[in-house]
Amino acid sequence: MKHRLALGLALLLLLAGCARSSSAPAATPPSSATGAGSAFPLTITDDDGEAVTIPTEPQRIITYAPSMTEILFALGVGDRIVGVAGAFDDYPAEAQGIEEVGGAGDFGVDPNVEKVVALEPDLLLTIAGGDAWKKQLRDLGVPVVTYNATDFDDLLADIGAIGKVVGAPDGAAQVVEGMQATADDVAATAETEGRVSCFFEVFFGPELTTIGPNTFIFDLLERAGCDPVTASAKSDYPQWSVDELVADSPDVYLATPESAKSVAAIARRPGFADIDAVAEGRVVLIDSDLVTRPGPRVVEGLEQLAAALHGSA
């Protein structure tokens, strides 16, 4: 019980942002005007299925997810962020000085509602989860908008939608264009290099935990040119038996600095030496921020993954 809880929490923190619901965002500006000033009031239906009306272009925004912070800075409206969740909002460097509103609730993963209200935000942007505090904030008059990217295409659509919500549609179009171009390059490389099999480690100890086929990371891996051996998983972050891993013996083994101290430490684990990837030295630690945060930097994650998979750094 305790372990399950701890594991769940760690997953929540590590993977905040890779998600379940797959509803596509729908933006419906009431007027057809294209000028930035005339797009408001704007009513959208977010990924929680909530219809939210944003009366004017948001100027005091709270982001409650590091990915949202990164997206707003990429759209060029980072200076409008008046509050972020916490220490995880560490990119870009400008984000580090912003007031932190997170860390409340029994598990320390909820925003401090008083602090949020005191900042008088006109928009709070976040990802899935936390229905209770979201409802409380809505009742207090804070417009809460949820976008939850389920895969790369969904992320691009979300960035477009967020661009409309914050009144920066042109910046969003540019960001999306750039990300799509990089993803296309990576896909082209994957095509010529041929596909490999891989395993992505989320967690090792107390149990080996990996990713299921409906997660954001799974989609990134496929785009980078590999087929995770965990495609049959029923849940998003399943525990995986080492026996099965050794039997499947993937070509490439991917982990993060949070899940394993070093490549050598992975090789020393009982049974791991028999995995092809370990035997052939194709174990790579990936910067988890680049693959677990559905933000503009996932294309860097894609490039890193592609390099790891095809053995060219």
The binding site for other proteins (CB under 8 A) comprises 1, 4-5, 8, 100-108, 112-115, 117-120, 132-133, 136, 139-141
| Residue 113 CB, nearest approach to other proteins (Å) | 6
| Cβ-based nearer residue to other proteins, 28 or 235 | 235
Using an 8 Å Cβ cutoff, are 210 and 201 in contact? yes
Compute the C-alpha angle 260/213/189, nearest 5°: 80
Q: Which residues contact 9 (CB under 8 A, 6 or more apart)?
A: 107, 109
| Cβ-based nearer residue to other proteins, 139 or 243 | 139
| Residue 135 CB, nearest approach to other proteins (Å) | 9
Using an 8 Å Cβ cutoff, are 131 and 149 in contact? no
| Cβ-based nearer residue to other proteins, 25 or 130 | 130
Side by side, the strands of the sheet bearing 226-228 are 226-228, 196-200, 252-255, 283-285
The percent of the chain in helix, strand and coil, each rounded to the nearest 5, is 45, 15, 40
* Strand pairing report for 26-28 and 144-146: unpaired
| Residue 265 CB, nearest approach to other proteins (Å) | 31
Nearest to 64, CA basis, from 112, 19, 20: 112
| Cβ-based nearer residue to other proteins, 101 or 283 | 101
| Cβ-based nearer residue to other proteins, 103 or 160 | 103
| Residue 60 CB, nearest approach to other proteins (Å) | 11
* DSSP notation for 82-121: EEBSSTT--SSGGGGGSPB---BSTTS-B--HHHHHHT--
| Cβ-based nearer residue to other proteins, 143 or 171 | 143
| Cβ-based nearer residue to other proteins, 118 or 181 | 118
Tokens at 177, concatenated: 């264009």
| Residue 84 CB, nearest approach to other proteins (Å) | 13
| Residue 98 CB, nearest approach to other proteins (Å) | 14
| Residue 136 CB, nearest approach to other proteins (Å) | 5
Q: Which residues contact 202 (CB under 8 A, 6 or more apart)?
A: 11, 14, 15, 209, 210, 211, 237, 256, 259
